[in-house]
């Protein structure tokens, strides 16, 4: 998310320069036909797009409209159930648990697809629960799986059928009753000789439990549940960690648009960095129902490389009746899809301001909660495009000067020539973050109506007559205030 805050500063002038500019500005670049908001929009439509496309690379698109899954690269169980859904307008994936304590749905286990390795992944799909949906049960200590993701530690062209648990890392796109949940397990990495020993400052041991806690063990969600577990089964330890929404945003009997994004943490030569990310958006929400920026998924350099559509009830169906979930229009992409829109806050000159000094500078502040795509940041000023110095600026000038850091920048535009009097200045700030969220804000202000109120003789110099008479005096020394990086220029009439 971006926050751009626009402010302006002005230098108060004196002498006869303003009066001279009233007469001489017919040759100044700014005294073209005033750029109205309509003209500005038209210019922007003709110009090349300023905002970069979202930084996502599509890896998987599955509509479930037919069952020829193998032709699209899916394997393992390609006999999953599909059913026509009138609301969606075509077939959808169906997972139905018809028997009491049933774990695997009637259509069988999951279907798999190998993907290009990605350290950031966005999983976008539509989800619907049956009206009686409870998952593993309202007070279950486990969550139900919807989609699983394996990494290249376990999934490769030589090992396409690796276990979905008790491995180096499985990431679960899941829920618990009506919560949204992201879960992980990395039981193969557990150091059995150091159970409950803190190995978080080393590159040894597991991340999801049994060998220490990274300070962000997860969330309880709306149903109390230990967010991190370590337990013994058949002589070996297993683990798990969950991040769950604090509310239950997925209602039964309704299609919901689910958007899960995850990003691997980085690993240094001697330590694990707590900089992994996850975010989950439901429907048209622009604020995630679940978000963390200090997640630890792994202690090695790895990437997600396999997608499994494999709904599963860990405790089995607690109902005597059937319960069902449906999935439609699955899209998996490399990249982190941040649905939080950017925000432009204009402070000064405020939109519609009048009597603004003609020699104003334009300054705006960019505060980034995500990553700013500096190449897309531009100021449109009276139809002219300005970009950050050092950036490519097709069709414009790279003359915006920035100070500060990439997370908190102050950007200054210093016009080469002062604005004319009584002039409508149309401005727009365009930018995007690296997830492609666009900023698009336009505003305008009007400069002051005249020059100095009184000249050296005491006459009013704000009128056209006074300005013309003053400018025509032979030998008059006037200061034509031109804005240069090095200071003011003076001229002699």
Domain range annotation of the chain = 2-54+341-447, 57-334
What confidence score (pLDDT) does residue 333 get?
95
What confidence score (pLDDT) does residue 248 get?
87
pLDDT tens digits for 480-492? 333 333 333 333 3
57-334 has CATH 3.10.400.10 classification: no
- Looking at the chain, the whole-number percentage of residues with pLDDT higher than 70 is 72
Question: Which helix (DSSP H) or strand (DSSP E) does residue 62 occupy?
Answer: strand 57-62
Cβ atoms of 455 and 68 closer than 8 Å: no
DSSP 200: T
How far is 211 from 101, CA to CA, in rounded Å? 32
E-state strands within 201-288: 228-233, 236-244, 256-263, 276-282
Give ∠ CA 25-27-29 in degrees, rounded to 5. Answer: 85
What confidence score (pLDDT) does residue 50 get?
25
What confidence score (pLDDT) does residue 399 get?
94
Beta bridge partners of 363: 7, 412
Residues recorded for the chain = 493
How far is 458 from 470, CA to CA, in rounded Å? 12
Cβ atoms of 390 and 398 closer than 8 Å: yes
Query: How many of the other CB atoms lie within 10 Å of CB of 280?
Result: 25
Q: How many helices (H) and strands (E) does the chain have?
A: 3, 28
pLDDT tens digits for 370-407? 566 788 889 999 999 999 999 999 999 999 998 877 66
What confidence score (pLDDT) does residue 343 get?
62
Signed CA dihedral, 316, 322, 325, 326: sign only? positive
What confidence score (pLDDT) does residue 370 get?
56
Beta bridge partners of 176: 179
Which segments of the chain have a pLDDT < 70?
1-55, 215-226, 339-347, 367-372, 406-407, 433-439, 451-493
Cβ atoms of 207 and 214 closer than 8 Å: yes
pLDDT tens digits for 350-372? 788 899 999 998 888 776 655 66
Torsion angle of C-alpha atoms 485, 488, 489, 493, degrees rounded to 10: 150
Cβ atoms of 173 and 184 closer than 8 Å: no
Per-chain mean pLDDT for the chain = 79
How far is 81 from 309, CA to CA, in rounded Å? 12
Cβ atoms of 196 and 230 closer than 8 Å: yes
């Amino acid at each position: 998310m971006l926050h751009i805050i626009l402010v302006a500063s002005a230098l108060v002038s004196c002498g006869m320069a303003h009066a001279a500019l009233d007469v001489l500005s017919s040759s100044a670049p700014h005294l073209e036909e005033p750029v109205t908001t309509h003209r500005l929009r038209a210019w922007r439509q003709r110009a090349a797009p300023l905002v970069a496309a979202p930084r996502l690379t599509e890896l998987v698109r599955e509509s479930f409209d037919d069952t020829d899954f193998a032709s699209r690269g899916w394997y393992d169980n390609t006999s999953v159930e599909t059913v026509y859904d009138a609301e969606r307008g075509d077939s959808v994936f169906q997972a139905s648990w018809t028997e009491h304590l049933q774990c695997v749905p009637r259509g069988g286990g999951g279907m798999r697809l190998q993907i290009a390795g990605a350290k950031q992944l966005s999983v976008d799909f539509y989800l619907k629960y049956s009206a009686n949906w409870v998952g593993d049960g309202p007070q279950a200590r486990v969550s139900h799986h919807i989609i699983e993701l394996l990494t290249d530690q376990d999934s490769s062209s030589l090992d396409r059928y690796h276990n979905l648990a008790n491995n180096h890392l499985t990431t679960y796109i899941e829920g618990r009753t009506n919560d949204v949940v992201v879960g992980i397990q990395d039981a193969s990495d557990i150091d059995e000789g150091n159970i409950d020993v803190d190995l978080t400052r080393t590159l040894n041991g597991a991340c999801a439990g049994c060998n220490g806690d990274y300070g962000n063990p997860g969330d309880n969600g709306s149903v109390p549940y230990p967010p991190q577990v370590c337990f013994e089964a058949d002589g070996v330890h297993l683990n798990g960690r969950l991040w769950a929404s604090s509310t239950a945003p997925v209602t039964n009997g309704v299609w919901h648009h689910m958007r899960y994004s995850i990003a691997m943490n980085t690993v240094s030569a001697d330590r694990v960095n707590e900089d992994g990310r996850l975010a989950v958006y439901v429907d048209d929400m622009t604020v995630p129902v679940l978000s963390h920026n200090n997640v630890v998924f792994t202690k090695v350099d790895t990437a997600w490389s396999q997608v499994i559509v494999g709904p599963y009830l860990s405790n089995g169906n607690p109902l005597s009746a059937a319960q069902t979930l449906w999935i439609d229009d699955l899209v998996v992409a490399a990249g982190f899809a941040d649905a939080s829109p950017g925000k432009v806050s204009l402070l000064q000159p405020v939109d519609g301001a009048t009597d603004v000094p003609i020699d104003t500078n334009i300054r705006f502040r960019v505060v980034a909660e995500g990553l700013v795509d500096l190449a897309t940041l531009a100021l449109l000023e009276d139809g002219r495009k300005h970009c950050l110095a050092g950036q490519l600026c097709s069709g414009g000038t790279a003359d915006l000067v920035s100070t500060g850091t990439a997370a908190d920048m102050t950007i200054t535009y210093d016009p080469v020539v002062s604005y004319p009097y009584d002039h409508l200045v149309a401005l727009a700030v365009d930018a995007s973050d690296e997830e492609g969220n666009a900023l698009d804000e336009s505003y305008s202000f009007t400069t002051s109506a005249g020059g100095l109120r009184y000249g050296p003789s005491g006459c009013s110099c704000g009128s056209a007559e006074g300005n013309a008479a003053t400018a025509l005096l032979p030998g008059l020394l006037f200061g034509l205030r031109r804005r240069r990086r090095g200071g003011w220029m003076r001229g002699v009439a």
